[in-house]
Amino acid sequence: MPRLILLAAILAVARLGATEPALDLNLQFFRDLAETRNYTLGQPVGAQLTADGRTVLFLRGGPRDPVLRLYEFDVATGTERELLTPARLLGSTEEELSIEEKARRERARVSLKGFTRFDLSEDGRRLLVTLSGRLYVVNRDDLAVTALPGRNWIDPRFSPDGTAVAAVSGGELHVIELATNTVQAVTTGASDAITHGVAEFVAQEEMDRTRGYWWSPDSQWLAYQRNDESAVEIRYMADAFHPEQPPVKFRYPRAGTANVAVQLGVVARAGGTTRWIAWDAAQYPYLARVAWSEPGAPLCLLVQNRIQQEQILFAADPATGVTRELLREGDPAWLDLDRKHMPLWLAGGREFIWTSESRGTWQVELRAAGGELVRVLTPPEFIYKGVIHAYDSAGSLYVSGGTDPRETHVWRFPLAGGPGFALTRERGMHGATMARNGTVMIHTYSLLDGRTGSEVLDANGRRLATLPSRAEIPTQVPRVEVTRTSGGPRQFNASIVRPRDFASGRKYPVILDVYAGPHITVVSSSARSYLTSQWIADQGYIVVRLDGRGTPYRGREWQRAVRGNLIDIALEDQVAGLEALGAMYPELDLGRVGVTGWSFGGYFAAMAVARRPDFFRAGMAGAPVATWENYDTYYTERYLGLPQDNPEAYRVSNVVTYADQLTRPLLLIHGMTDDNVYYQHTLQLADAYFRAGRTYELLPQLATHMTSDPRMKLRQQQRIMEFFNRHLQDRN
């Protein structure tokens, strides 16, 4: 008889209180991981330099406190000053978030509290923070705090001249004049289906675009998007712990159904008539990027067609709404967006930086104001990961990337053309943000030897200061080997984490920690990213990660090999990579392989145990996308097309198609309030298994897509390891 093991969600929220028995060292290690957020709590967050590069503003909590406070750091003296705390504004009152703000934080994967972001005026004199939907302006000189009128504000931003703040409330874009502390709504007509000034769901979740409005460089105008969601399907999210409360309504554009209808308009700072920007929105419905930040440069918009195989960059005349084409690109599979928003205009609007994959790999280009190519700035063998800053006064372009996809470094290239120079060299993951004047940068790093930190460097990479951290230091550095497979037609980047008490000559069961989907790599040269893997390995496993085809940083053809089928090549490569590693490292027992993953990784894990039971003995699928026709339009249609046009692509890519093939143990975990991968996916999969007479285990949780609560994370991981221990720690 088929059986369903349903574990009550209350298990996932069991308290770790003083009355609980003492944890063993292994569980204590993971609880420390959970409570410190992998030892990131207490590190500077969202650090920004003032335009002159003299001061760093940042947020920071305590080593086990997720409530962020506002600080400043003087680069020259190395002194730190606390500017503002949430307690100063709220006292003992708990922070309250609107449904809209909770949704925005979920899209941005923000789980911290207090001041989760801030805006800095261009002159560096004032800061803008949000707390419980209220806005506050902080003067750096005297620390005076001014509460701005209104409530339930989202996405507040200073005007470039610092005299006003724009923000959205009730679906309308408003301007708050700081001299008079008065509020003016510059849009009208918001309703249940109409909103202004906010990025729609797919822009936030899939395009890395969180903004829905943009100040003009002279601070006199605002470009904003109008969203008409009236044709978008409605979904309802209920709280199973509180059935007396009505469900919350969401509009979710699933594959093949209607998207939000987006327009881009321009309105005066004081309000008035909106001038609508003209383009063929029926043919190019996606407003992917908007840029309007440099004096002398035009308002630009990048639009894409529905299947993301064509895109056009337009320059728009705000006074008339007329657009002119700057450049056009196409790809027979799909066009990826650079996560660093392009175009980036140089001073005066004479030229702009653009990035393109049209030559088979991402490269940075310099283009004339009319869109003509001036020169390519990065060579094809350079692995581009993002533009940091273009400092045209010094003729320099700063980018992140390098020569190894497993590492990220800060590089400088001359705008005049020529070879680049690496400013960071230690093996690991490096990032940077620069002051507007291009003379100073904030350098963040997480290295393979376990060191992490934030420091201030000059434009040549010389250290000027170290930003103070309050984070705890892990007691142990993960025992990780970052490698490549050998043999066969392809090589895969891979990592291996062994137990600390590893014994040579012994065979260990293997757990594949997997994602295997587009846009994300899991193999990196940051030891801190393997802390959970080490916790798993110390329980008698070897933990492996692999990046196969479909993942970025290996060129266009490597990534686009998965077009029309999201599982077959991914599954082939993960198995081939494991087999190659098994030949290299005899301690890997490929007769005892488990697979664990979340989101796309959960999808892969569910597929792996059903499709390759000869190789995978057990799997944990967290928040899996089981049926792609129920995932969002922008992500799904990029790889599979529209379901009405490509039904076979959806059939072969859906887990439910293979439900009757499940013969290996499978644990499903899913948050019941997940508004990204809806709980519907796991319920559909569980129902298909049940009807096919297949055995599985199900752990529902009172959580969204990602779990941040330390108690839930510990209980979740305990449950996962108990599952793998039952099925992998013996050969019976």
What pLDDT sits at residue 730? 73
pTM given for the model? 0.94
Domain segments of the chain as ranges: 4-36+474-728, 192-337
* CA gap 123, 51 in Å, rounded: 7
What pLDDT sits at residue 572? 97
What does the pLDDT average to over 532-555? 97
Asked which of 287-291, 292-296, 324-328, 494-498 is least confident by mean pLDDT, the reply is 292-296
Backbone angles phi, psi at 351, to 5 degrees: -145, 165
CATH number of 4-36+474-728: 3.40.50.1820
Q: Write the CA distances from 232 to 151, 169, 208, 209, 528, integer angstroms.
A: 28, 21, 21, 20, 41
Task: Enumerate residues 6+ apart whose C-beta is below 8 A from 94.
Answer: none
CA-angle at 62, arms to 57 and 67, nearest 5°: 75
What does the pLDDT average to over 432-437? 94
Residue 102 pLDDT class (50, 70, 90 cuts): confident
* CA gap 396, 386 in Å, rounded: 15
What does the pLDDT average to over 662-691? 96
Which residues is 474 bridged to in the sheet?
none
List the structure tokens of 567: 């599982």
Nearest to 163 by CA among 211, 218, 225, 117: 218
CA atoms within 13 A on the CB side of 434: 22
CA-angle at 207, arms to 206 and 211, nearest 5°: 120
Residue 661, class by beta-carbon neighbours within 10 Å (0-12 exposed, 13-18 middle, 19+ buried)? middle
Task: Give, to the nearest 10 degrees, the angle between helix 25-35 and helix 710-728.
Answer: 140
pLDDT value at 272 more than 70: yes
List the structure tokens of 626: 């089981």
Residue position matching structure tokens 């008065």? 182
pLDDT, mean over the chain: 93
Residue 107 pLDDT class (50, 70, 90 cuts): low
* β-pairing verdict for 588-598 and 508-514: parallel
Residue position matching structure tokens 């088979």? 360
Nearest to 83 by CA among 94, 97, 73: 73
pLDDT value at 18 more than 50: no
List the structure tokens of 652: 């072969």
Our CA dihedral for 433, 437, 438, 442, rounded to 10 degrees, sits at: -30
List the structure tokens of 53: 């590069």
List the structure tokens of 482: 């970052």
* CA gap 237, 388 in Å, rounded: 39
Q: What is the pLDDT of residues 176-225, one digit of tens each?
A: 999 999 999 999 999 999 999 999 999 999 999 999 999 999 999 999 99
Q: Using an 8 Å Cβ cutoff, are 599 and 578 in contact?
A: no
Q: Using an 8 Å Cβ cutoff, are 92 and 55 in contact?
A: no
Got the DSSP string for 338-373?
PSS-S-EEPGGGSEEEEEE-TTSS-EEEEEETTS-E
* CA gap 107, 205 in Å, rounded: 5
Task: Give, to the nearest 10 degrees, the angle between helix 600-611 and helix 568-584.
Answer: 80
Q: Using an 8 Å Cβ cutoff, are 481 and 494 in contact?
A: no
What pLDDT sits at residue 11? 34
pLDDT value at 468 more than 70: yes
Which residues is 215 bridged to in the sheet?
222
Q: Using an 8 Å Cβ cutoff, are 378 and 364 in contact?
A: yes
What does the pLDDT average to over 82-109? 82
Q: Using an 8 Å Cβ cutoff, are 315 and 299 in contact?
A: yes
What pLDDT sits at residue 94? 79
Q: Write the CA distances from 687 to 623, 656, 694, integer angstroms.
A: 15, 9, 10
CA-angle at 378, arms to 376 and 383, nearest 5°: 140
Nearest to 252 by CA among 107, 378, 408: 107
Task: Enumerate residues 6+ apart whose C-beta is below 8 A from 415.
Answer: 366, 377, 390, 392, 395, 396, 397
- Top-confidence residue, 105 or 533: 533
Nearest to 312 by CA among 340, 286, 338, 351: 286
Residue 731 pLDDT class (50, 70, 90 cuts): low
What pLDDT sits at residue 23? 53
- Look at the alpha carbons of 258, 260, 264, 267 in this order and tell me if their dihedral is positive or negative: positive
Got the DSSP string for 689-726?
HHHTT--EEEEEES--SS---HHHHHHHHHHHHHHHHH
* β-pairing verdict for 508-514 and 542-547: parallel
* CA gap 707, 33 in Å, rounded: 13
B/e letters for 621-635, b = 16+ CB within 10 Å, e = fewer, are: bbbbbbbbbbbbbbb
| Long-range contact set of residues 425-430: C-beta below 8 Å, sequence gap at least 24 | 427/525, 428/525, 428/526, 429/524, 429/525, 429/526, 430/400
